[in-house]
Amino acid sequence: MNTTHDRRTFLRTTAMAAATAAVAGGRTTHALPLFEESSGIRWDKAPCRFCGTGCHVQVGVEDGRVVAIAGDQQADVNKGLLCVKGYHVGMILYGEDRLTRPLLRRGDAYEPISWDEAIDVVARRIMKAPERFAMYGSGQWTIPEGYAAQKFMKGGLANNHIDPNARLCMASAVTGFLATYGVDEPAGCYADLDECDVLITWGNNPAEMHPVLFSRIIDRRSRGESVRLIDIGTRRTRTTEQAQDFLLMNPHGDVPIALGICHLLIENGTYDRDFVERHCNFRAPQADTPTLTGEAIPFEEYKRRIARYTPEHVETLSGVPAAQIRMLADLFGNRDLRITSLWCMGMNQHTMGTAVNSLVHGVHLLSGHFGRPGDAPTSLTGQPSACGTVREVGTLAHALPGGRVVTDPEHRAQ
């Protein structure tokens, strides 16, 4: 049967698939057999490409077309759940404006050409002037795609003119990780959402941007667990609706807020002295030749530098009442609690992105809310392979695979 599926049919079939998976009650591996037997639809696995959560989806195919989407119950990331964006991911293939053929610009117009012709045109122009060729990728690339592109450009053409849209997405998260830990990748993981007592969202709206992750908190509350949600931001969002505390700040107010917390932890003697002495050092920007890591300073110098960030001074800078700054410091000063911080593009596309990333990491390190389940500073990504394809594979102009960089002769030799 060669059936044409419109939007309504797709949504109805998807809803039936999701309901069947829920009723089945068991976990699936690569298919939903009950639904497959009743409809003839073939099921396969795929990742959702909408955000950085990384949900696993079951894709129902009939007559060569995607006709249904369901969450994968085997996946620890989403545990069978999808958000409205995930349930619609299959419809991307059939949008009227989707590009399905190469287009070649002739004058002011773009003309469709064949794939063979497109490859010939690109090859001729590359061979004529390989140093003038560039490639623009994204965090939507799969890891094999990114590695092939990286090897083609830097290995094949001896040209590092390759960069992804993630450069504009979360580059400051990367520099924050490198400046703080010396390596690139977050310290926390999704499982911290299942363990934390307090969740702080810094300029972040996971209720709408990462709803599958946010549902973990709502699910815990529905089962009677106590999870305190504190939302820090410049506007109210759907995340705010679920928060016990909302700290309405001025733009860039998160920088003085983080400094104010650190000041109070030291002033009140509630910072984790043992953790700091064993695991932390303190650094400050170099005036003459600025670097990502700065220069080492003693603890007393760090204490002196942040002494002016009293709650009252922070209030004048951030717009957040001094009492709420003290509330945050009291929570971080209590090591019986497990505290997770979440942020995404609100901090990562900040005009002081590297600084505010490093500061929030620093709050967790200074307070000792680090390295235990539920105690973590975690930057969420906006794309599903911003870490794997972009950073681990190195599809950035300055990068090589495995955390290596183009400017290091030893890395280039490897």
Q: Is the pLDDT of residue 277 over 70?
A: yes
Range of the domain at 114: 100-128
Do 353 and 293 sit in the same domain of this protein? yes
- Out of 1-10, 33-42, 329-338, 403-412, the most confident range is 329-338
Q: Output the CA–CA distances (angstroms, integers) from residue 110 to 25, 48, 101, 137, 248, in the order listed.
A: 51, 31, 11, 21, 48
* Judgement on whether residues 72 and 116 belong to the same structural domain of the protein: no
- The number of domains in the chain is 3
Average pLDDT for 260-280 = 98
**Shortest CA distance to 81 belongs to which of 212, 206, 210, 207?**
212
Note the pTM of the prediction, 2 decimals: 0.88
Q: How many residues does the chain have?
A: 414
pLDDT tens for each residue of 306-338: 999 999 999 999 999 999 999 999 999 999 999
Which band of pLDDT confidence, cut at 50, 70 and 90, is reported for residue 108? very high
Together in a domain, 187 and 336: yes
**pLDDT number for residue 282:** 96
- 198 and 59 inside one domain: no
Integer Cα distance of 25 and 32 in angstroms: 11
Q: Answer yes or no: is 84 within a domain.
A: yes
Q: Residue 30 belongs to a domain with what CATH number?
A: 3.30.200.210
| Average pLDDT along the chain | 90
Pairing label, strands 282-284, 56-62: unpaired
Nearest to 179 by CA among 357, 300, 391: 357
Predicted confidence band of residue 357 (pLDDT cuts 50, 70, 90): very high
Least confident stretch, 123-132, 192-201, 278-287: 278-287
| pLDDT score of 40 | 81
* Domain identity same for 255 and 341: yes
φ, ψ at 3 (rounded to 5°): -100, 135
Assigned domain for 136 exists = no
Same domain (yes/no): 251, 105 = no
Residues 252 and 301 both lie in one domain: yes
Lowest mean pLDDT across 13-22, 176-185, 303-312: 13-22
What does the pLDDT read at residue 35? 54
Q: Which of 71, 94, 117 is the last residue of a domain?
A: 94
Q: How far is CA 172 from the centre of its chain?
A: 12
Strands 162-164 and 135-137: parallel
Whether 201 and 277 map to the same domain: the answer is yes
Three-class SS of the chain = CCCCCCHHHHHHHHHHHHHHHHHHCCCCCCCCHHHHHHHCCEEEEEECCCCCCCCEEEEEEECCEEEEEEECCCCCCCCCCCCHHHHCHHHHHHCCCCCCCCEEEECCEEEECCHHHHHHHHHHHHHHCHHHCCEEECCCCCHHHHHHHHHHHHHHCCCCCEEEHHHCCCHHHHHHHHHHHCCCCCCCCHHHHHCCCEEEEECCCHHHHCHHHHHHHHHHHHCCCCCEEEEEECCCCHHHHCCCEEEECCCCCHHHHHHHHHHHHHHCCCCCHHHHHHHCCEEECCCCCCCCCCEEECHHHHHHHCCCCCHHHHHHHHCCCHHHHHHHHHHHCCCCCCEEEEECHHHHCCCCHHHHHHHHHHHHHHHCCCCECCEEEEECCCCCCHHHHHHHCCCCCCEEHHHEECCCHHHHHC
- Does 15 reside within a domain? yes
Q: What's the rounded mean pLDDT across residues 284-306?
A: 89
pLDDT of residue 22: 43
d(CA 47, CA 56): 5
Whether residue 396 lies inside any domain: the answer is: no
pLDDT value, residue 21:
45
105 and 222 fall within a common domain: no
Task: Give the C-alpha separation, 39 to 47, whole Å.
Answer: 23
Does residue 151 surpass a pLDDT of 60? yes
Same domain, 87 and 25: yes
β 404-405/399-400 pair status: antiparallel
The average pLDDT across 249-269 equals 98
Give Cα 282 to chain centroid, integer Å.
Answer: 27
> Is 385 within a domain?
no
**Residue 135 located in a structural domain:** no
In a domain, 390, yes or no: no
Same domain as 367, residue 320: yes
Amino acid, res. 403:
G
CATH number, domain of 328, equals 3.40.228.10
Same domain as 203, residue 276: yes
- Written as one letter, the residue type at 228 is R
pLDDT for 338 equals 99
Q: What is the pLDDT of residues 29-78, one digit of tens each?
A: 444 554 554 578 899 999 998 899 999 999 999 999 999 999 999 999 99
More confident residue, 391 or 253: 253
Q: Which positions are annotated as active-site residues?
A: 85, 169-170, 345, 382-383
**Is 348 a domain residue?**
yes
Per-residue pLDDT reduced to its tens digit, 337-355: 999 999 999 999 999 999 9
The tokens for 46 are 């795929």
Q: What percent of the chain has pLDDT over 90?
A: 78
